[in-house]
Structure 1
């Protein structure tokens, strides 16, 4: 075996962590997002009518204040008390609308009654529109110039604005409210044929069309908001159901895991007791302690019994180790250890098997590596498992290279690389799972239990480390066990005694 220092290329080994995403969860989130973004607008008549009625009752004082302001300005401009007649009629129509809204609020609005109430409320708006039509055809004999026309036009435009903002959740409310006003202005233009009235009519019709468009857009926006709210509520319900199902499944899994642990603990005792007897008696028979075996075939059989029993005992131990790790009961007995010494000892343990297959094991160890704070037994199991796999799957006359050195992050690593048949890239997740075996292992005469690499990963995870498996078909496999920098014990300079320090100070003085 050749000992050497790892080259600078070993420094590229870093502590990488791969994020494993749950594809099912990602797909569900993506589908939900698409459904929210492209969800169709449903039928929300009941909700929209309820919102409109609530808005009417909350803003009940807006229209009376507005009418009083218009009446006050009208008296100021015209000095004609006839404007009070219009104000009385408008306030009466508004009161009728409020009574209808209160009556609707007291009833339970269903999807069928929503259409009826929409028609009733639109008729109420038409009634107010007739009052605005009466306001639009009024004239002023005492007014001079165009002051009254300007006043009337400004008030009508303000009325359109107030009505649009108060009724945007009632479709086409602006159009039906001011249709009588438009007809009244057309009638007045036909009678007077004055350009001022014609201009007022044109401006008012434009305002009605514009605010009808604006209220329709606002209505559609509210409809989409309700649709998204409904989608969100449905999603919350689905998540709650999924959470309850997940909690139930987790509870059952925990119960099953506890039952499995109890079963394994019980069976380990029941199986180990007879296995120890089988192994002991097979060793006694193979050594011919009680006398020679006359038939050499019997001696061969005792060897088969011992090997089979040892294989079964190793399998039980591996299953127990994995179950203890999964149950969180695998405790580390940490102390200061040397990764170099562990690697050398494990190489010596597999050297005999390697020589039997004419496999050479080379070493590339970085000198003077500081100690690690870790569990010696666990790390020895990690290195021995990786070396055993390398010897098992490396063909006759193959080569295995063992490297121990620094990582780029200041940690330490053990790399075991062979020139065996390799593992197909798509089978790497399989061999890293419990009881998973690749196609090469299945075809091989030396099949394992499929628990070695999962145990290696779990032990390294307990040490906050990482396991990396690199392999290419017909090019070999490299297994890298990484321990983080936090596990490295840096050496400190020796502390001088007080007498030596005192003498040094006196000499300097």
Structure 2
């Protein structure tokens, strides 16, 4: 008969057919790094610089036009006539063209830009603006009432040159394309009416052009640094996202696997215990010779060994199943009002014979006026027995175990079991608290266990809303504290008067 393959995944098993999420993230990371982690001079890097230049031109698009309007207004008042208005209109039109060009580049994706053509268009736009400033440098005013008119023009050109050096620093050559011609025109215009002050201003403009070019170049290098840092930042963010995605994926798979394991073990409770109970029963019958004497004493000893081994295996399975049910959320609490002191006293009495065999004193210090606690009696007994078993197991002969029950500072109740055994190194406490974890010193100095006692205690306390604390020092001992919250403590009911009780009985 051919095997049939199910189209649906078992809900108890990890579904390995789920797509791996890390592949998409890895491809996105590679694309980001390829786009941003580039050296200066590459196409992608040039595109980013052009985008920076376009953004700077859009943000500061109003700066130079305001200067042009202010110069035009002052020129009209000074008597320059309509020519200053025509100049202002032409210059504003040139800067408007550059602003629209920058807005278009800013809205375009970096990958769609042609860096050579875009750079050429920007330089042409700045050259047109330079023609406007060359026109301004050529303007003359024989009838205006402004002394040293050429000095004023030089000052305006210096302001415009400094502003452009800052605005267009991301585009190499923009400053030279804008003001090379105006400076030359100014020098030519001043040479015709040469005076010392005008010669100084012309020299100042000639020197200022390379100076501001140097400033613009340094600002351009700063833009390169900004892009480099942005590239590194994006690369680090991408790596963090990749690591987080991988961690989430690994954690999800681990949780699924752990849940599948817990569900499997919890569902195997009946199947595992039934044959073991049969083995224990038959071996006990054989060991006690219930059905008649056994002529061979060796067989009787073997029956005792089978019974003891089966009992040990049953205890181990019970612990594993308890922890599995807790992890799978199948452990049901049978909550009722209980007296914590009474439960702990019973547990101490149960462990008394074991402690006496090792010559260990069990000292009990209980608060006698504790109110009842709302919890699962079986779970509280298991918590207490696990803590007492560990304390007696790891305490040397002649030692003592101190058991306390009392109030917590927050109004809850606690169980404390303290021994004077070998203790646990501080770095091994997380190992001891994990499932199947055991400390190195404890393994050497005492009989080995399953390492499930404390995880079960933590799980049962979590179900009660409580906390578990473990304090230990080498060669001084260990103290385990099980804390039940205030919400579990029940208020004592007030005593009824004798007449009221008698009336109720009637």
Deviations 1:306-339 (A, max 9, x none): 2111110111111111111111222222222122
Quote the RMSD (CA, aligned, Å).
4.0
SS in 1 for 2:318: helix
Contact kept, 8 Å, 1:46 with 1:111, in 2: the verdict is no
How many residue pairs get aligned? The number is 462
Residue aligning to 1:364: 365
Higher mean alpha-carbon deviation, 41-50 vs 197-206, is at 197-206
Contact kept, 8 Å, 1:174 with 1:212, in 2: the verdict is yes
Contact kept, 8 Å, 1:402 with 1:414, in 2: the verdict is yes
C-alpha change, 1:61 and 1:45, in structure 2 (3 Å) is same
Q: Quick one: distance in 2 between partners of 1:71 and 1:360?
A: 104
Deviations 1:272-308 (A, max 9, x none): 1111111112222233221233344433332222211
What is the CA distance between 1:180 and its match in structure 2?
A: 3.2
Q: Quick one: distance in 1 between partners of 2:285 and 2:478?
A: 40
What is the CA distance between 1:171 and its match in structure 2?
A: 3.9
What is the CA distance between 1:456 and its match in structure 2?
A: 0.9
TM-score w.r.t. the length of structure 2 is 0.76
Q: Quick one: distance in 1 between partners of 2:107 and 2:292?
A: 105
Contact kept, 8 Å, 1:422 with 1:474, in 2: the verdict is yes
Higher mean alpha-carbon deviation, 274-283 vs 489-498, is at 489-498
Deviations 1:114-143 (A, max 9, x none): 255325523542343244234224332222
Q: How does 1:347-426 map to 2 (within 5 A)?
A: 347-426=348-427
C-alpha change, 1:144 and 1:254, in structure 2 (3 Å) is closer
What is the CA distance between 1:69 and its match in structure 2?
A: 6.2
Q: How does 1:100-115 map to 2 (within 5 A)?
A: 113-115=114-116
Q: Quick one: distance in 2 between partners of 1:396 and 1:332?
A: 37
Residue aligning to 2:321: 320
Residue aligning to 1:142: 143
Deviations 1:344-397 (A, max 9, x none): 111111111111122221112223122222211111101101111122222222
C-alpha change, 1:222 and 1:485, in structure 2 (3 Å) is farther
Q: Quick one: distance in 1 between partners of 2:487 and 2:217?
A: 65
C-alpha change, 1:195 and 1:158, in structure 2 (3 Å) is same
What runs of 5+ residues in structure 2 fail to find an aligned partner?
A: 1-35, 502-506
What is the CA distance between 1:342 and its match in structure 2?
A: 1.4
Deviations 1:87-121 (A, max 9, x none): 57646755875797699789987699425532552
What is the CA distance between 1:221 and its match in structure 2?
A: 6.3
Deviations 1:410-431 (A, max 9, x none): 2222221222222233222222
C-alpha change, 1:278 and 1:110, in structure 2 (3 Å) is closer
Residue aligning to 1:506: none
Q: Quick one: distance in 1 between partners of 2:256 and 2:237?
A: 28
Residue aligning to 2:463: 462
Contact kept, 8 Å, 1:97 with 1:121, in 2: the verdict is yes
Q: Quick one: distance in 2 between partners of 1:240 and 1:456?
A: 37
Q: How does 1:227-376 map to 2 (within 5 A)?
A: 230=231, 233-234=234-235, 237-238=238-239, 241-242=242-243, 245-246=246-247, 248-376=249-377
Residue aligning to 1:472: 473
Q: How does 1:124-273 map to 2 (within 5 A)?
A: 124-146=125-147, 148-149=149-150, 152-153=153-154, 155-156=156-157, 159-160=160-161, 163=164, 167-171=168-172, 173-188=174-189, 190-198=191-199, 200-201=201-202, 230=231, 233-234=234-235, 237-238=238-239, 241-242=242-243, 245-246=246-247, 248-273=249-274
C-alpha change, 1:324 and 1:50, in structure 2 (3 Å) is same
C-alpha change, 1:254 and 1:190, in structure 2 (3 Å) is same
What runs of 5+ residues in structure 1 fail to find an aligned partner?
A: 1-38, 501-509
SS in 2 for 1:482: strand
Deviations 1:180-219 (A, max 9, x none): 3334444455554434425644776787688767766765
